[in-house]
Structure 1
């Protein structure tokens, strides 16, 4: 099979392959970029595999970075964009179920491709668009199948994360997992406990944002995968969550986490502990913990609650849509959020400096209490947001709350 008109991402990288070829080394586009091109999906990183060893690659280009030279990867910067070139290699045993104990550089493309995870990712392409398919990846791509290269148990024992990747690709692409590959996944799922949480989290987030996330989560439940990832989700009632995903998909990881927590029975403390076990960022924790309890029991009349979640309003609305909330309810929530007297404490007509200038109070706990009380009174519509009203209220508060 030959691609007559290459996408611009590959055209831009052709000089890199041709430089290697002119020096006598085979070189190919490989992996996800080739797969995504064939699926007419956006192309992200264009990766290159070559018979040239790392030092041989570096001799051919003026600007390089040793991004993973111990594993044969050098980044070439000569042509504006960075292109990672990885030497054809074979891999030894994986005693930690994550990475090979050693790699051996080889000159043969076939040896390199047979170590890859799935047939649809074991495709290569020449500089002029000729597809190299040694493991029937094109047929699996056409049939919508995720199939391990060679023996699935071997691939999953080498790197247990590949099991999560199988579920993730199935969810993203809407592909079925081939029966022998899925059977190996079911048998070897306990090995996921040996994988770093951060690596599992990346795959889980991508799965939750996939077009067939409902199927992916359902398989993770059915195949026992959730017993070996953080958070004891195997014990959660996920039926409603899966039904949500059957009709919509999360637009971002933070929406995915907030949605998942909203469909849980965890309290706020347990939610926070759950996200920490998954080693999510502070930003994700802050947003998800703010949104989930509000989405669980939305009340358009509670202005203070709506005010506190306002910085995350877009996430809240996305979660409510995923939960199949009625359009009229979402419209009312949007209106209530917009109608809040203020949306940020900085919108108050006075601040701490004003209280100091008016000799009402000095910096300290009392000032914090006064400003918080004023803020809430304004948000709840009990106090007009004018300097005169706020100052009068602040004086009254200071008299009843001496420092």
Structure 2
């Protein structure tokens, strides 16, 4: 489950650091995912070499965070974050250390990390360095902090939300002592930049076991009184009951928010730092769900409504309503929508064989808002079989309609 080019390149970096007399290891999430046989997307490296020594050793480097000991080394076109062994002290903003101290001990470096499953290292021969029983916690499927959870969360309050995110990412349970600490210290999250919380929540909503993560979010009591999650408690309770594996990310957000009153939906969406494009997509899905609450089969969607919705949104509507009202998801829903659309004379209002200028010519009328209304009526008439999608037949239909009016 690991890109062999990525692994070979990482090993070359480790070997080069070692050849100059320094220790070097792969570290953190890449080791965790390697042991879990999950895809490894990137590899972080820790080393006893100081940042300036790393920069002198490799041709292509970027001083990503020299203050904290991090240099990005680019090898074979792949970026690797290489960070010097360090300890940290002072977290006046409950997020970042006030200062770091470089050390020569791998164990000291790993002891500053958040969770035991992220506090393991691996050398280039595949040997695992696990001082805090991370492998045992992987087998137990438990998220546990390195050291006292209260200390870890006071250092970096975002770690509380990271515990929730990892619960959804891995399907793991948060150790009771850690969960209790989150419940007691959750107010510290108000000191964290909203953008960082948004990032963690987005990762949760993309996660394979998102419903498990949402249940963890509920039990952590973060949603009880921490904005903007306090606005969507109803949605969390409802959405956590469904398996969301077959849903896209916007569909997951719509399922979460469709159980939330309208004003609270917007308070929540405005409270997070989301792109306008993403918010627009979620709001459209919510509007569709509000308009077609009881429809669970493609054949139930009126023909004109179906072509106005379009295939993508129609599929989303059916998937979400099937989950909400039947607690199951038909894997053939996309094919069903395609089949119904295929039977229609047009699949989109824009497929009409006449346009606004044609209507002006037929009726000898100036342009105006009437054109779009007339085109919509024509599209509805075509899909309902009242007139063929043929210029001459549409002309006759329009003239007769005008005469009747």
Which range moves more in the overlay, 75-84 or 353-362?
A: 353-362
Cα distance between partner residues in 1 of 2:367 and 2:214: 51
Does structure 2 retain, via aligned residues, the 8 Å contact 1:218–1:242?
yes
Which range moves more in the overlay, 74-83 or 111-120?
A: 74-83
**What pairs up with 1:323-342 in 2 under 5 angstroms?**
323=324, 324-325=327-328, 327=330, 335-342=339-346
**Equivalence for 1:230:** 228
Q: Does 1:159 align with 2:163?
A: no
**What pairs up with 1:31-180 in 2 under 5 angstroms?**
31-180=28-177
**Equivalence for 2:250:** 254
How far off is 1:185 after superposition? 0.9
TM-score, normalised by the number of residues in structure 1:
0.84
Q: Does 1:266 align with 2:264?
A: no
How far off is 1:182 after superposition? 1.3
Which of 384, 391, 398 is equivalent to 1:387? Answer: 391
Which of 348, 355, 358 is equivalent to 2:352? Answer: 348
Q: Does 1:244 align with 2:248?
A: no
Which range moves more in the overlay, 28-37 or 337-346?
A: 337-346
Q: Secondary structure at the match of 1:236?
A: helix
Cα distance between partner residues in 1 of 2:68 and 2:316: 40
TM-score, normalised by the number of residues in structure 2:
0.84
**Equivalence for 1:315:** 316
Which range moves more in the overlay, 206-215 or 12-21?
A: 206-215
Cα distance between partner residues in 1 of 2:399 and 2:204: 55
Cα distance between partner residues in 2 of 1:239 and 1:93: 37
Aligned residues: 393
How far off is 1:112 after superposition? 1.7
Does structure 2 retain, via aligned residues, the 8 Å contact 1:61–1:76?
yes
Cα distance between partner residues in 2 of 1:65 and 1:360: 67
How far off is 1:49 after superposition? 1.3
Deviation readout 1:281-302 (Å, 9 max, x if unpaired): 2332232222234345144243
Superposition RMSD in Å: 3.3
How far off is 1:7 after superposition? 5.6
How far off is 1:138 after superposition? 1.4
